[in-house]
Amino acid sequence: MGILYNRGMNTELKSIKEQLEEREYEILSPYATKAKETKGRKRERVEDFAIRTNFQRDRDKILHSKSFRRLKHKTQVFLSPYNDHFRTRLTHTLEVSQIGRTMARALRLNEDLVEAISLGHDLGHTPFGHCGEATLDSLLPNGFHHNLQSVRVVDVLEDMNLCKETIDGILTHTWGYKPKTPEAQIVQYADKIAYINHDIEDSVRAGIISEKDLPRDCIKYFSSKQSTRLGKMITDVILNSQDKPTVSMSEEGWFYVTKLRTWMFDNVYLDPVAKAEEKKAKNIIQSLYEYYTETLQAYYDKEDIPQIVSDYISGMTDQYAIRRYLDLFVPAPLAEHANDDTLLKKAAENFNSH
């Protein structure tokens, strides 16, 4: 869809966007997604100062959103870490963005689109990481998947009016989906490369594993050194994708990435020592879900309640979920109670308005 400009707009400012769009045709690969060729947004918008391309605007909308700010207090792997050096969902997102932009720049693909997708890909993630996601998935009639919820966040709950290419990349960042742009394909790889490497580093720091515990053939292929391993994975994608319409890894590189990921699941992600606190996190999510589901029965249609409650809980940070649990189920002086059900009311309003 087109963009409307105010008639009195400064033509010099308008030309900034046009120059940036023209530069993309001069610099980027023929396979790159050009901002000027976007398939549009669900609503046209009025621009007073046309100084950003469509994908730059998407990136900024996501960066300034409430859901993005909440990522700083959402678990990546280790629940509610007190150690400031462990990753959170926010630092993971920033690392995905950095890796994605590096690959996009090397392949002459649209770096702005990659950045927008990267920053938005985990906005719908639950508190307590994949444990929270699995718990909600088991409770909801239609299940829960964070990539679908991320799309719901940008398209409904915060109504960012993003370009279709950005939304597609957010939806398809999870493996098993087929992205429509090479930029979204980059984010698929960047996400995996980021979490495999930083989860290894965090697990070593936590004392759960050591570098020498990693599969020997993977160490031989990638190196046991964090920076070398990360660099080799990124370089593999770049070298295997140059001057091609699709982004991919070499068959050998992908084999060892997959093996390393499987090893991490067996030894970290599903390890009983590393995940000892997850039973408590699961209980918090389940208790909150059951409480709000029952509470809202008097106000909303039964079939609408799961989505409203899911929107509310998935938007919580770890800290806020714990606080709500304490307020609802643990006795405390009245003065210490948090009275902040506005997020739940807002979730219901957004649900009803769409």
User: 303: burial class by Cβ within 10 Å (0-12, 13-18, 19+)?
Assistant: exposed
Q: What is the pLDDT of residues 219-237, one digit of tens each?
A: 999 998 889 999 999 999 9
Q: What is the pLDDT of residues 302-312, one digit of tens each?
A: 999 999 999 99
pLDDT at 348: 73
The predicted model gives 145-158 an average pLDDT of 98
In-domain check, residue 25 = no
Q: Which of 341, 347, 308, 307 is nearest to 324 (CA)?
A: 341
Q: What is the CATH number of the domain that holds 221?
A: 1.10.3210.10
**Contact predicate 235/107, CB 8 Å:** no
- Calpha distance 199→17 (Å, rounded): 39
**What does the DSSP assignment read for 157-214?**
IS-----HHHHHHHHTTSBTB--SSHHHHHHHHHHHHHHHHHHHHHHHHHTS--GGGS
Q: Please report, in angstroms and rounded to a whole number, the separation of the first and last CA atoms in the chain.
A: 21
- Calpha distance 104→114 (Å, rounded): 7
In-domain check, residue 210 = yes
In-domain check, residue 326 = no
In-domain check, residue 83 = yes
DSSP 4: E
Q: What is the pLDDT of residues 161-180, one digit of tens each?
A: 999 999 999 999 999 999 99
**Contact predicate 169/187, CB 8 Å:** yes
pLDDT at 1: 42
In-domain check, residue 10 = no
In the block, residue with structure tokens 């947004």: 41
| Positive or negative: CA dihedral 199, 201, 202, 206 | positive
pLDDT at 244: 97
- pLDDT cut 90: percent of the chain above it: 75
Q: Which amino acid is at 145?
A: H
The domain total for the chain is 1
pTM: 0.90
In-domain check, residue 317 = no
| Positive or negative: CA dihedral 188, 192, 195, 201 | negative
- Calpha distance 127→129 (Å, rounded): 6
- Calpha distance 88→61 (Å, rounded): 21
Helix, strand counts (H, E) of the chain = 16, 2
In-domain check, residue 186 = yes
Q: Which amino acid is at 100?
A: G
- pLDDT cut 70: percent of the chain above it: 89
- 304-335 burial string, b = 16+ CB within 10 Å, else e? ebbbbbbbbbbbbbbebbbbbbeeeeeeeeee
Tokens standing for residue 180: 């429509």
In-domain check, residue 37 = no
Domain region containing 137: 55-269
Tokens standing for residue 234: 């990124």
* pLDDT over threshold 80, residue 28: yes
